Amino acid sequence: MNKNLRIPVIAGNWKMNNGPAASAVLIEKLKPLTANAQCKIVCAVPFTSIPAALNAAQGSNIAVAAQNVHWEESGAYTGEISAQMLKELGVEYVVVGHSERRQFFGETDVTVQKRVRAALNGGLTVILCVGELLGERKSGITSQIVRTQTEIALAGVTAQELQRVIIAYEPVWAIGTGETATPEQANEVCAILREQLAVLYDKEAADATVIQYGGSMNDQNAVELLAQPDVDGGLIGGASLVAEKFAVIVKAAG
């Protein structure tokens, strides 16, 4: 399928940056810079900045995402936030399974699966992150790793629900390191993921799924990465914190 039939999604992952005031300022700065974008724009902001970000984004083409979601609707889960709570605020997207959550907060393929399920049940669109460690790439098992992560995360997800899943291929060695995957490396794995979706679902579902690349994508390398046939957008950390840089990436997608 012609990749032009998929609408690219450029998502900023602000991580633990920008409180409510700074979030509103950054979104206000972004609005005029990205007003004519041909892609979807998402900003994944810290939980406490969600209301301010939503308020600032009102009437614009910028959607707001949370960076995580718990698998239960409510209960004794200190420190967690449910899909229903996010939905009540007006959040549309949620990032699930980011490698920093896997690395620092004990996230496993199984907890990722539970969070994906809860997010879909709660009416959210999921940005599902998968990616290999440097050692895994060196051992030649990248394909196996990302396939396993994807298969477990999507267990029980129907083809219809898959329409609310974006997959972000994020090689862990490229995140926050300034070391970007080459466009060919990024495309190779995005294509492997698309083939896997065709096996798990069918070709139509695979062709319709947005697959992003993430890992040191910036205003300098976005054009080349986003031109790849199986790369439908980006999940951007560092460069998403600077409005002008993020805007250049948004332009590169459209």
Interface residues with ligand PGA (CB under 6 A) are 13, 170, 175-176, 214-217, 235-239
Chain centre distance of CA 250: 14
Residues paired with residue 167 on neighbouring β-strands, in sequence order: 128, 211
Residue 170 designated active-site: yes
- The three-state secondary structure class of 202 is coil
- Least distance in Å: CB of 159 to ligand PGA? 27
Nearer to ligand PGA, 205 or 250 (CB): 250
At 57, list the tokens.
Answer: 């984004």
Given a contact cutoff of 8 angstroms between Cβ atoms, the answer to whether 225 and 213 are in contact is: yes
Query: Residue with the closest Cβ to ligand PGA?
Result: 237
* Residue of 70, 98, 132, 136 with catalytic role: 98
Determine phi and psi for 11, rounding to 5 degrees: -120, 130
Length of the chain: 254
Nearer to ligand PGA, 122 or 237 (CB): 237
Nearer to ligand PGA, 94 or 205 (CB): 94
Residue 70 designated active-site: no
* Residue of 88, 151, 170, 204 with catalytic role: 170
- For 221-227, which contacts have Cβ atoms below 8 Å and span 24 or more sequence positions? 221/180, 222/248, 222/249, 222/252, 222/253, 223/252, 224/183, 225/180, 225/181, 225/183, 225/186, 226/8, 226/252, 226/253, 227/183
Nearer to ligand PGA, 205 or 218 (CB): 218
- CA-to-CA distance for 66 and 174, rounded, in angstroms? 22
Nearer to ligand PGA, 186 or 205 (CB): 186
Determine phi and psi for 112, rounding to 5 degrees: -60, -45
- The three-state secondary structure class of 193 is helix
Given a contact cutoff of 8 angstroms between Cβ atoms, the answer to whether 37 and 253 are in contact is: yes
Which sequence positions are flagged as catalytic?
Answer: 98, 170
